[in-house]
């Protein structure tokens, strides 16, 4: 068992719980916290965990503030700050942080793509497309970028099954009747996720899009309302 800097810290307790053992039989990630608790890299890693693992944005900001002392120009410092600002609806601050991150690492495809998606959410389409094209010029075979640029079926970390993409293609080239079989198959797959995880908002949100494509208006509205109840804008401005 690792001896972290503060056994009462809930973040470190969760981190120790979720970390796998290293070859020495110790918890590798918390062990780094024990060995270099004041290092900027340590605080940056804790900020990532607080943001991605716990959705604890206040703690993530606190760790970023501590990291800033020794890593003032680290691209991830500004990138994670932008992600937090976006979640909290601080859009102007988010775009400034994205711009700073891009200035520090102009060929970082991940930052370019997420920044572009943020500008699109703000209806700043020319800036969004410029960043998407810039990212694609750097990494032309990046399928995730192309999917995001095309605005495919997806929500949060959940992407539609391939039948959903087939439905989009069929609808574009052959009309809604031809797309129905594919959308119906996609619905069955996503509906299973909703049955297993009824409070998983991204799945409900994706299901409502598929139902809308199938012309099932009442079902789509019901699923959409439920997803909004689970993740309201006050909780997550980016995905709410």
pLDDT (tens digit per residue) in 17-30: 454 444 443 344 55
Pairing label, strands 158-159, 154-155: antiparallel
pLDDT-above-70 percentage for the chain: 76
pLDDT (tens digit per residue) in 90-124: 999 999 999 999 999 999 999 999 999 899 888 88
Q: How far is CA 117 from the centre of its chain?
A: 11
Residue 55: band (very low, low, confident or very high) from pLDDT cuts 50, 70, 90: confident
Place of tokens 């520090």: 104
62, 33 contact by CB (below 8 A):
no
Decide which of 124 and 160 is more confident. Answer: 124
Q: How far is CA 182 from the centre of its chain?
A: 27
Q: What is the reported pLDDT for 205?
A: 84
pLDDT (tens digit per residue) in 161-203: 777 778 877 777 777 787 888 889 888 988 988 898 898 888 8
Residue 21 corresponds to which tokens in the numbers above?
């053992």
Q: What is the reported pLDDT for 14?
A: 59
Q: What is the reported pLDDT for 97?
A: 97
178-210 as b/e, with b when 16 or more CB fall inside 10 Å?
ebbebbebbbebbeebbeeeeebbbbbbbbbbb
Angle at 191 between CA 166 and CA 152, to 5 degrees: 35
Mean local confidence (pLDDT), 57-78: 95
Write the DSSP assignment of 188-221 as a string of letters: HHHHHHHHH-TT-HHHHHHHHHHHHHTT-HHHHH
Closest CA to 113 of 146, 82, 88, 90: 146
Q: What is the reported pLDDT for 240?
A: 52
Write the DSSP assignment of 133-166 as a string of letters: HHHHHH-TT-HHHHHHHHT-SEETTEE--HHHHH
**Domain segments of the chain as ranges:** 154-230
Place of tokens 């993740």: 231
Q: What is the reported pLDDT for 152?
A: 45
Residue 27 corresponds to which tokens in the numbers above?
């918890």
204, 230 contact by CB (below 8 A):
yes
Q: What is the reported pLDDT for 148?
A: 63
Whole-structure pTM over 0.85, yes or no? no
Q: Which CATH architecture has domain 154-230?
A: Alpha Horseshoe (1.25)
117, 148 contact by CB (below 8 A):
yes
Classify the phi-psi angles of 236: left when phi > 0, otherwise alpha if psi is within -120 to 50, otherwise beta: beta
Q: What is the reported pLDDT for 112?
A: 95
pLDDT (tens digit per residue) in 35-54: 677 888 989 989 998 998 88
Q: What is the reported pLDDT for 157?
A: 47
Instruction: Give the torsion through C-alpha atoms of 220, 226, 232, 236, to 10 deg.
Output: -80
């Amino acid at each position: 068992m690792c001896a972290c800097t503060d056994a009462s810290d809930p973040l470190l307790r969760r981190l120790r719980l979720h970390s796998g053992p290293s070859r020495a039989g110790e918890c590798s990630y918390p062990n780094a916290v024990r060995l270099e608790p004041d290092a900027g890299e340590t605080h940056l890693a804790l900020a990532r965990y607080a943001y991605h693992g716990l959705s604890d944005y206040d703690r993530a900001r606190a760790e970023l503030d501590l990291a800033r002392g020794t890593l003032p120009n680290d691209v991830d410092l500004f990138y994670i700050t932008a992600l937090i600002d976006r979640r909290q609806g601080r859009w102007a601050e988010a775009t400034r942080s994205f711009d700073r991150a891009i200035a520090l690492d102009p060929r970082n495809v991940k930052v370019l793509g997420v920044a572009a998606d943020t500008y699109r959410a703000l209806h700043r389409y020319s800036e969004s497309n410029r960043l998407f094209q810039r990212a694609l010029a750097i990494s032309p075979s990046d399928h995730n970028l192309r999917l995001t640029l095309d605005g495919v079926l997806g929500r949060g970390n959940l992407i539609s099954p391939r039948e959903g993409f087939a439905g989009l293609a069929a609808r574009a080239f052959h009309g809604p009747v031809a797309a129905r079989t594919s959308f119906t198959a996609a619905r069955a797959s996503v509906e299973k996720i909703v049955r297993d995880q009824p409070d998983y908002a991204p799945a409900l949100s994706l299901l409502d899009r598929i139902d809308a494509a199938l012309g099932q208006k009442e079902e789509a509205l019901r699923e959409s309302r439920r997803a909004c109840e689970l993740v309201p804008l006050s909780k997550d401005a980016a995905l709410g």
